[in-house]
């Protein structure tokens, strides 16, 4: 989901006040086998720490990644369920203005809460960029046909309700195609004279993370990000969201998949459409059962992968700085997720 909701919204911390953590060494050794964490101090996680590492610099110029590890004080099964359905919008610091599930098949009514009347400056920015879009030029991630459709629908009118209705129709088309065809239905963007495919961007990043790709191959193959299968054989949780990505209002469509693998769980949150500012993202979770203070708990590894055009122009220390900002926002998201897990 979502680091780019504040230059990619995401983050979470821990607030566990328990005295002991007894866990089978299996989950920890498994985590070490594919992640960047070779030292996992469960006592630190128990006291509220989140392990974090910036991903190594990629050969892929648009890509950036990060890894985190944390503990949740509910069972692995319940943690996986909550991760799949979690709504970040009640937490204002995450700058997610709306988050809504989609029916299967989706329908126009699913987008009725898309509201361009919001007073937030990022939403006004998106409204202005939408009105400024023409069939031949747009600052948004659209196909040529979508740009034509949007321009014809809006007709240069900055009427928030009209713009909301026009976007709802466009998003319905994107979401319906993905629900029917999986990644084959994720149309590429016409961006700066080039064709940019979100699935290709994600696969390119995963090819540079062979250990992670191998660990997550059970679910990645089922959803079409690895192997030859492009139509997912898992039913995900579909959603749309609107949020602040680096002060720009951004709409995305996503799907969150979950798969039980033995006694633990794997999840993939994949954004197959993003309206601008970045191209796509995927967040991978692996959730193992552990015992927290004599009660069921979960050890979670999280990997975030983002593809954004501006990253191609960053090198060295600047790229490292972006990674640090990314981790900062990821930790915020983790914090709020764990607070909810502890109180509900």
Place of tokens 């996503």: 254
With CA atoms as reference, report the closest residue to 306 among 202, 218, 203. Answer: 202
Spatial distance between the Cα atoms of 311 and 74, rounded to a whole number of angstroms: 37
CB 271 within 8 A of CB 199: no
* Cβ atoms < 10 Å from Cβ of 261: 13
Spatial distance between the Cα atoms of 68 and 321, rounded to a whole number of angstroms: 17
Per-residue pLDDT of the chain (344 residues; tens, 9 = 90+): 444 443 333 332 333 333 333 334 489 899 999 999 988 888 788 777 899 999 888 889 999 999 999 999 999 999 999 999 999 999 999 999 999 999 999 999 999 999 998 788 999 999 999 999 998 889 999 999 999 999 999 998 889 999 999 999 999 999 999 999 999 999 999 987 789 999 999 999 999 999 999 999 999 999 999 987 656 679 999 999 999 999 999 999 999 999 999 999 999 999 999 999 999 999 999 999 998 888 899 999 999 999 999 898 887 778 778 888 899 999 999 999 999 988 87
CB 309 within 8 A of CB 278: yes
Q: Does domain 3-116+196-343 have CATH number 3.40.50.720?
A: no
C-alpha pair distances (Å), 239 with each of 157, 171, 187, 338: 28, 11, 17, 21
CB 335 within 8 A of CB 13: yes
CB 255 within 8 A of CB 202: no
Q: Is 283 left (phi over 0), alpha (psi -120 to 50) or beta?
A: beta
| Confidence (pLDDT) at 322 | 84
119, two tokens: 């007073």
Rg over alpha carbons for the chain, rounded to the nearest Å, is 20
Spatial distance between the Cα atoms of 46 and 43, rounded to a whole number of angstroms: 5
Spatial distance between the Cα atoms of 286 and 31, rounded to a whole number of angstroms: 9
| Confidence (pLDDT) at 47 | 73
Cis peptide before 75 (omega within 30 of 0): no
1, two tokens: 């989901």
According to DSSP, the β-strands at 295-307 and 189-191 are unpaired
CB 62 within 8 A of CB 308: yes
| Confidence (pLDDT) at 232 | 67
287, two tokens: 């959730």
């Amino acid at each position: 989901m979502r680091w780019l909701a504040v230059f990619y919204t995401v983050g979470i911390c821990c607030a566990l006040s328990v005295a002991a953590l007894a866990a089978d060494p299996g989950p920890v050794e498994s985590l070490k086998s594919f992640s960047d964490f070779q030292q996992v101090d469960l006592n630190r996680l128990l006291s509220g720490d989140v392990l974090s590492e910036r991903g190594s610099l990629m050969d892929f110029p648009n890509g950036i990644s990060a890894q985190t590890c944390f503990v949740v004080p509910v069972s692995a099964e319940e943690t996986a369920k909550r991760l799949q359905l979690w709504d970040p919008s009640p937490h204002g610091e995450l700058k997610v203005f709306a988050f809504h599930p989609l029916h299967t098949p989706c329908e126009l009514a699913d987008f009725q809460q898309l509201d361009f009347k919001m007073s937030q400056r990022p939403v006004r920015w998106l409204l202005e960029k939408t009105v400024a879009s023409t069939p031949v030029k747009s600052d948004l991630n659209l196909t040529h046909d979508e740009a034509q459709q949007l321009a014809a629908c809006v007709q240069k009118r900055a009427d928030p309700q009209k713009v909301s209705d026009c976007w709802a129709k466009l998003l319905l088309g994107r979401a319906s195609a993905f629900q029917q065809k999986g990644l084959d239905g994720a149309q590429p963007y016409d961006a700066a004279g080039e064709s940019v495919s979100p699935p290709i961007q994600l696969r390119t990043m995963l090819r540079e993370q062979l250990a992670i790709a191998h660990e997550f191959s059970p679910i990645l193959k089922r959803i079409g990000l690895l192997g030859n299968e492009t139509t997912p054989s898992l039913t995900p949780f579909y959603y749309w969201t609107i949020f602040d990505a680096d002060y720009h209002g951004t709409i995305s469509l996503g799907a969150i998949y979950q798969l039980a693998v033995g006694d633990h769980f794997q999840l993939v949150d994949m954004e197959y459409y993003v309206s601008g500012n970045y191209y796509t993202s995927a967040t991978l979770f692996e959730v193992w059962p552990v015992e927290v203070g004599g009660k069921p708990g979960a050890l979670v590894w999280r990997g975030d992968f983002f593809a954004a055009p501006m990253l191609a122009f960053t090198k060295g220390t600047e790229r490292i700085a972006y990674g640090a900002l990314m981790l900062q926002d990821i930790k915020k998201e983790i914090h709020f997720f764990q607070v909810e897990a502890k109180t509900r």
